[in-house]
Structure 1
Amino acid sequence: MSGLTAITLPQSIPFPVTIISILCRTGETIPKHKTLFKYKYWCYQ
């Protein structure tokens, strides 16, 4: 569950590759966190 803490950081830090890095690190599915930054992630990918 450590990933959850990192996901709250993107709010302050840039979105560019931070989100993608966090998703890969946590190994969780995008749909699960897509509600958090789907507007940024989908736009970037």
Structure 2
Amino acid sequence: MRSQISESVTAINYNDLKINPNNELGRGAFGIVYKAIWNNQVVA
């Protein structure tokens, strides 16, 4: 049985993110993940 996954990726402007470098959530092989605010929502 095959299933299909519908994906949608939104491109956002970096300047629209409010990132505090002190809000690091984690790090790994793909880089560092920070807590940020975008469009009045908390994102990572």
- Shorter chain as normaliser: what TM range? under 0.3
Q: State the structure with more CA Rg.
A: 2
Greater helix share, 1 or 2?
1
TM-score normalized with structure 1 length: 0.17
